[in-house]
A = this chain, B = another copy of it.
Amino acid sequence: MNEQYPSVLLEKAVNEFAKLPGVGRKTAMRLVLYLLRQDVAMVEAFGNAIITLKHEVKYCKVCHNISDTDMCRICSNPQRDASVVCVVETIRDVMAIEATQQFRGLYHVLGGVISPMDGVGPSDLQIDSLVERIRKGGIKEIILALSTTMEGDTTAFYIYRKVEPLGVKLSVIARGVSVGDELEYADEVTLGRSIVNRTPFNGTV
């Protein structure tokens, strides 16, 4: 036992919280002491929510998004356009795009990007299942919505090589100056791309 902690149980709880990304020892302590001040029911709800999620979580057999059922709400919704599939890294990206309410197609969650440095190869991602999905037919367009990083670009190129022979339209999301941003603060690469990929203007943005 670490001399620093007045209780082994407290130390254990702090150690567990300190394993979370971005949570240091002091923050972990603060969170644990906060929970300790709550009533038993709230602490049990907290602890059990994550355990239940881990035990009972399902992933959609089509798009690999988290789901409560074998096929997720988006994939099983007949009102969505099954001919357009947006390829993303994580379920957080699905939620971010859904929040825009600008996309009515389906998704495909890769589960990450190709990153040799982190030991993530193409076989660790849901790329084969994407190819399989396209082969089954019905998909006209694949939109790549990956990070603009070395890993994201590598993954995009890998998918391009796999998908290109299958004859579906392949596109990437637009990169440009953020809405509300001032030009002088945009980085050069983004500003450059926004000029090269300019879009027709008919008087309204």
The residues of A with any CB-CB pair to B shorter than 8 Å are 3-10, 12-13, 15-17, 19-23, 27, 29-36, 40, 42-58, 60, 65-68, 72-74, 90-92, 94-95, 98-99
Contact = CB atoms under 8 A, between A and B. Distances in A.
B7 A67 contact: yes
Q: Is the interface of A mostly helix, strand, loop or mixed?
A: helix
A164 to B, nearest CB: 30
A92 B33 contact: yes
A89 to B, nearest CB: 11
A33 B53 CA distance: 10
A54 B43 contact: yes
Given A7-B67, A19-B42, 7 more contacts: A3-B98, A5-B95, A6-B94, A6-B95, A12-B53, A16-B45, A44-B51
A183 to B, nearest CB: 28
Contacts of A31: 20-21, 23
B13 A53 contact: yes
A50 B51 contact: no
23 contacts: A6-B65, A6-B95, A7-B57, A7-B58, A7-B67, A9-B49, A9-B53, A12-B53, A13-B53, A15-B49, A16-B49, A20-B31, A20-B35, A21-B30, A23-B31, A29-B92, A32-B53, A33-B92, A36-B53, A36-B54, A43-B54, A44-B51, A47-B49
Contact of A55 (B30, B40, B94): B40
Q: 8 shortest A-B CB distances, which residue pairs?
A: A47-B47, A47-B51, A43-B54, A16-B49, A13-B49, A13-B53, A16-B46, A9-B53
